[in-house]
Structure 1
Amino acid sequence: MQVNIAEAKAKLSELVDAAERGEEVILARRGRPVARIVPTILSKPMFRFGVASGEVERVPDLLEPMPEGEIAPWE
């Protein structure tokens, strides 16, 4: 979507929301594109719960001692 700067001043919050949703927002001066509003990397989730759902069978208890067979290679 292309928006003139004068209109963008009045609708800045809406334009930022659109950019966060993935829409391309172009700011124009007298109909000529001059800038683009894009989401930052930080606005995207760093981690989503359930991504590996069904792929991990057992998560080890980190407070339990390791079996002797697993400790030997680390010593």
Structure 2
Amino acid sequence: MQVNMHEAKSQLSKLGEKVWDGETVVIAKAGKPYLDLKPHREGQVERRPGRLKGQIVIADDFDQASQEIIDAFEGGF
């Protein structure tokens, strides 16, 4: 759903309920998308690259596959 800025100001409460119900609301300015209205989520954890380093083990033969498996993925069966 896309609404203009004026409509968003006058119907913010109603639009907020729609967003919480799962609807996507885009607020437009001069007819072009300007803002996305999203619900606030508590406790989102900030992603930190490498925080599982040393905890994940990848087998030496991870990227080796038999011809049978390759054929199955490529439609050879």
TM-score, with length taken from structure 2 = 0.52
Aligned to 2:40: 40
Please give the residue correspondences for 1:30-69 in structure 2 after superposition, counting only pairs within 5 Å.
30-42=30-42
Number of matched pairs: 42
Aligned-residue offset at 1:41: 1.5
Distance 1:40 1:34 in 2: 18
Q: Where does structure 1 lack aligned partners over 5 or more consecutive residues?
A: 43-75
Task: State the 4+ residue runs in structure 1 displaced beyond 4 angstroms.
Answer: none
Aligned to 1:24: 24
Structure with greater proportional helix content = 1
Aligned to 1:4: 4
TM-score, with length taken from structure 1 = 0.53
Distance 1:6 1:39 in 2: 20
Identity %: 40
Distance 1:26 1:13 in 2: 14
Q: Where does structure 2 lack aligned partners over 5 or more consecutive residues?
A: 43-77
